[in-house]
């Protein structure tokens, strides 16, 4: 799988050399290329931002360096008339529903699956979830564009939507200084789902969010530590009882901190 990341802070991504993802990169399972947006500037100061039209605080990232950088990654294809902004597209049955970038035409069709996916992290985006991570892990090429300041000139999303599928995605209801940390989190979340990245794929199955619940608490040796005992059922060797206890723990935990996840679940009825 190929991943391109556009940023004004390429150093943020040096950590992708570490741990499981680093190994996955060195084994060729994931090909990550980081692009410095400032390399596409033309002035002495390598400027990437300007004041917002209409006034207001902060600065907005200018479209030209983004256009040049994305042209180099995606190819400067002539605008597809069917996909030009303002023209309604046809949504396929399997079109993702959690992805439309506000103001960016949602133009997903079966042919679109062959167009690269370009993701802009933004607090104004659709929530990134485990389902999004699974969907990204099935892509062959994703480009991430890291915004800074008050965001990116909106025409960059519209222009990119002429030759790629564009998604604005949020990590959560809080504001980061830029998209870099969000991209690191997303790459880790989908990267570990790629075949061969996590040694024992079974460990992916029993995790938080895979079955819609938070995961159960885990214990290892010693059986007693600082006067605290491992729950007796886990030492019983009785697999069915262990499974039942773990499921109850999942429900209890989820009810305590994420009751929203339990809505409509028969196994969580009180």
Residues annotated within the binding site are 147, 171-176
Task: Find, among 155, 172, 130, 188, the residue nearest to 66 by Cα.
Answer: 155
Phi and psi at 100, nearest 5°, equal: -60, 125
Our CB check for ligand ADE shows the closer of 170 and 249 to be: 170
Instruction: Say how far apart CA 167 and CA 130 lie, in whole Å.
Output: 16
Binding region for ligand ADE (CB under 6 A) = 121-123, 170-172, 174-176, 179, 182
Our CB check for ligand ADE shows the closer of 75 and 103 to be: 103
Provide, rounded to whole angstroms, the least separation between the CB of residue 230 and ligand ADE: 38
Provide, rounded to whole angstroms, the least separation between the CB of residue 168 and ligand ADE: 9
Cα 159–Cα 184–Cα 154 angle in degrees, nearest 5: 20
Count of other CB atoms within 10 angstroms of residue 34 = 19
Residues of each annotated binding site for S-adenosyl-L-methionine: 147, 171-176
Our CB check for ligand ADE shows the closer of 112 and 167 to be: 167
Instruction: Report the DSSP beta bridge partners of residue 32.
Output: 3
Our CB check for ligand ADE shows the closer of 145 and 250 to be: 145
Provide, rounded to whole angstroms, the least separation between the CB of residue 176 and ligand ADE: 4
Provide, rounded to whole angstroms, the least separation between the CB of residue 185 and ligand ADE: 9
Provide, rounded to whole angstroms, the least separation between the CB of residue 120 and ligand ADE: 8
Our CB check for ligand ADE shows the closer of 79 and 127 to be: 127
Instruction: Say how far apart CA 20 and CA 26 lie, in whole Å.
Output: 10
Instruction: Report the DSSP beta bridge partners of residue 119.
Output: 144, 167
Task: Find, among 157, 180, 197, the residue nearest to 35 by Cα.
Answer: 180
Which residue's CB atom is positioned nearest to ligand ADE?
121
Instruction: Say how far apart CA 7 and CA 86 lie, in whole Å.
Output: 28
Instruction: Say how far apart CA 234 and CA 219 lie, in whole Å.
Output: 9
């Amino acid at each position: 799988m190929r991943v391109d990341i556009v940023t004004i802070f390429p150093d943020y991504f040096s950590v992708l050399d570490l741990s499981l993802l680093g190994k996955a990169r060195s084994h060729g399972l994931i090909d990550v290329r980081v692009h410095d947006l400032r390399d596409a500037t033309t002035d002495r100061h390598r400027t990437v931002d300007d004041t917002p039209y209409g006034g207001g605080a902060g600065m907005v990232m200018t479209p030209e360096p983004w256009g040049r950088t994305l042209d180099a990654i995606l190819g400067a294809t002539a605008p597809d008339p069917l996909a030009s902004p303002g023209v309604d597209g046809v949504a396929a049955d399997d079109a993702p529903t959690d992805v439309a970038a506000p103001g960016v035409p949602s133009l997903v069709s079966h042919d679109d699956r062959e167009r690269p996916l370009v993701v802009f992290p933004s607090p104004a985006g659709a929530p990134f979830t485990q389902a999004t991570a699974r969907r990204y892990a099935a892509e062959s090429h994703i480009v991430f564009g890291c915004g800074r300041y008050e965001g990116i000139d909106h025409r960059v999303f519209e222009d990119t939507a002429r030759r790629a599928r564009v998604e604005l995605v949020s990590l959560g209801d809080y504001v980061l200084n830029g998209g870099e940390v969000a991209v690191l989190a997303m790459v880790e979340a989908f990267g570990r789902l790629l075949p061969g990245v996590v040694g024992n794929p079974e460990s992916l199955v029993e995790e938080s969010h895979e079955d819609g619940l938070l995961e159960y608490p885990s214990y290892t040796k010693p059986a007693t530590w600082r006067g605290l005992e491992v729950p007796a059922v886990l030492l019983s060797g009785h697999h069915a009882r262990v499974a039942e206890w773990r499921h109850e723990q999942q429900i209890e935990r989820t009810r305590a901190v994420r009751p929203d996840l339990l809505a409509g679940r028969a196994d969580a009825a009180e």
